[in-house]
């Protein structure tokens, strides 16, 4: 794999840091997560990683962490942690929620993109925590690490990251596709031919026929169904009215009423194999069936190497400290050295069981 032989030290944190580490691990990097002793971690983004539990407030615990970093190519940590680089080749990657603590919704609020997202007339909505945490944070951080062959320090703040991945709408704001107020433009829920519609069974269809030739296929098929069902009123939309904004409210009502006459899978069959850009909105379970796995596979793919993937039953949370003994032995520590760490409290209270006769870490 592309990153075979690369060692990464990841300090346990929230979504963006673990996702950056996951991207690196999927592509062959050896990722060691440093957890606090006695901590719990429900992070599912831990495939291919190992964990060591260290109390960095102890002299010996900090020494072990420094030894690990000294043998690594990348040090990955989150928010306000301040770590020093301990070797010349070290890539120093810091993820922060600039300019203050917060979460995804706060970062995209400061980036300017939240104000442009679809929602109700009164307020915008947000796409889970995907923009800042995973795209603007974790993914850009992993990308920065890969670019850090010549630059050894990677600073990623999730407000700037959110702005960067939103370059198109932010640069276009106030003109072209984004000329009107939020909710009146083509890509923010204003256009009836770029939206999600509810079907008779409560499931949804997504429509994205922006180009005239695609809209023509969509509206012809849709009109055909409405006419054959006997639900046709006195008005039918034509191909030529697609970008006539004054007709959008009427077209939206027509599509809303029409989609509600049939279940989602009926509409899926109607548009299957066409260029109408009309496809079903799948549930997570349905998408898993389509893609062959509940868990997203590593991406992108490469011509010469393949990212790693694990069976579904191996994808689970990583218990803090699970690999402490193995990692310490790899550092060259003896059983005596490890017992000394226990005595000094560097491995936490749970490790005291090592002091029992014939016990091993």
* Residues 19-56 pLDDT 10s: 999 999 999 999 999 999 988 888 889 988 999 999 99
Averaged pLDDT for residues 319-333: 94
Task: Give the pLDDT band (50/70/90) at residue 358.
Answer: very low
Task: Give the pLDDT band (50/70/90) at residue 152.
Answer: confident
Task: Give the pLDDT band (50/70/90) at residue 357.
Answer: very low
- DSSP strand pairing (204-208 vs 7-11): unpaired
pLDDT at position 122: 83
Same domain, 82 and 230: no
pLDDT at 348 over 60: yes
The CATH number of whichever domain residue 252 belongs to comes to 3.30.1540.10
Structural domain contains residue 257: yes
pTM of the model: 0.84
pLDDT at position 117: 93
The CATH number of whichever domain residue 146 belongs to comes to 3.40.50.10540
Place of tokens 């393949």: 306
User: Domain residues for 99?
Assistant: 7-165+296-314
Q: Choose the catalytic residue: 103, 319, 323, 337.
A: 103
Same domain, 16 and 157: yes
Same domain, 110 and 15: yes
Structural domain contains residue 131: yes
Same domain, 128 and 12: yes
Same domain, 72 and 99: yes
Radius of gyration of the chain (CA): 26
Averaged pLDDT for residues 191-195: 96
My answer on whether omega of the bond before 13 falls inside 30° of 0, hence cis, is: no
pLDDT at 359 over 50: no
pLDDT at position 312: 55
Tokens, residue 291: 């893609």
User: What's the rounded Cα separation, in Å, for the pair 323 and 40?
Assistant: 15
Same domain, 88 and 153: yes
* Residues 49-106 pLDDT 10s: 999 999 999 999 999 999 999 999 999 987 655 555 577 789 999 988 866 678 898 8
pLDDT at position 295: 80
pLDDT at position 172: 87
Is residue 205 a contact partner of residue 278, using CB atoms and an 8 Å limit? yes
Same domain, 15 and 140: yes
pLDDT at position 40: 86
Pick the range with the lowest mean pLDDT from 27-36, 149-158, 221-230, 327-336.
149-158
Structural domain contains residue 336: no
User: What's the rounded Cα separation, in Å, for the pair 297 and 275?
Assistant: 27
Instruction: Give catalytic status of residue 133 as yes or no.
Output: yes
Structural domain contains residue 350: no
Structural domain contains residue 171: no
Q: In what order do the strands lie in the sheet with 91-96?
A: 49-53, 30-35, 7-11, 74-78, 91-96, 153-157
25-55 core/surface letters (b: 16 or more CB in 10 A; e: else) = bbbbbbbbbbbbbeeebebebbbbbbbbbbb
Structural domain contains residue 268: yes
Same domain, 215 and 90: no
Averaged pLDDT for residues 177-185: 87
Is residue 43 a contact partner of residue 318, using CB atoms and an 8 Å limit? yes
Same domain, 210 and 243: yes
When divided into structural domains, the chain yields a total of: 2
Structural domain contains residue 326: no
User: What's the rounded Cα separation, in Å, for the pair 165 and 127?
Assistant: 14
Same domain, 274 and 308: no
Structural domain contains residue 331: no
Is residue 29 a contact partner of residue 3, using CB atoms and an 8 Å limit? yes
Same domain, 221 and 310: no
Q: Which among 169, 187, 183, 191 is positioned nearest to 251, based on CA atoms?
A: 191
User: What's the rounded Cα separation, in Å, for the pair 164 and 183?
Assistant: 22
Same domain, 33 and 123: yes
At residue 91's C-alpha, the angle toward residues 89 and 92, to 5°, is 130
Q: Choose the catalytic residue: 35, 43, 133, 188.
A: 133
């Amino acid at each position: 794999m592309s990153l075979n032989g690369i060692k990464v030290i990841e300090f346990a944190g929230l979504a963006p840091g673990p996702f950056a580490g996951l991207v690196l691990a999927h592509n062959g990097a050896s990722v060691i997560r440093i957890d606090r002793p006695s901590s719990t971690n429900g992070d599912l983004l831990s495939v291919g990683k190992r964990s060591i539990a260290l109390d960095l407030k102890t002299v010996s615990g900090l020494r072990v962490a420094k030894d690990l970093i000294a043998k690594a190519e990348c040090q990955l940590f989150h928010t306000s942690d301040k770590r020093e680089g301990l070797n010349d080749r070290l890539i120093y990657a810091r993820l922060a929620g600039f300019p203050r603590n917060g979460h995804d919704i706060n970062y995209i609020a400061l980036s300017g993109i939240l104000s442009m997202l679809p929602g109700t007339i009164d307020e915008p909505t947000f796409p889970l925590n995907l923009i800042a945490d995973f795209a603007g944070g974790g993914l850009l951080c992993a990308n920065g690490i890969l670019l850090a062959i010549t630059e050894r320090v990677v600073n990623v703040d999730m407000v700037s990251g959110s702005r960067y991945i939103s370059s198109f709408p932010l640069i276009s704001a106030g003109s072209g596709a984004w000329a009107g107020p939020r909710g009146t433009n083509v890509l923010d829920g204003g256009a009836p031919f770029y939206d999600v519609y509810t079907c008779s069974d409560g499931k949804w269809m997504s429509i994205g026929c922006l180009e005239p030739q695609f809209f023509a296929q969509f509206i012809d098929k849709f009109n055909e169904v409405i006419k054959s069902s006997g639900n046709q009123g006195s008005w039918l939309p034509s191909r030529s009215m697609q970008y006539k904004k004054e007709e959008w409210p009427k077209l939206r009502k027509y599509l809303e009423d029409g989609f509600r006459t049939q279940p989602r899978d009926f509409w899926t069959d109607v548009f299957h194999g066409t260029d109408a850009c009309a496809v079903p909105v799948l549930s997570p379970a349905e998408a898993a069936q389509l893609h062959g796995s509940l868990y997203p596979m590593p991406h992108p793919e490469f011509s010469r190497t393949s990212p790693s993937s694990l069976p579904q039953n191996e994808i689970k949370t990583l218990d803090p400290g699970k690999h402490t003994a193995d990692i310490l032995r790899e550092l060259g520590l003896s059983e005596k050295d490890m017992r000394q760490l226990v005595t000094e409290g560097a491995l936490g209270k749970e490790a005291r069981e090592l002091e029992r006769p014939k016990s091993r870490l």
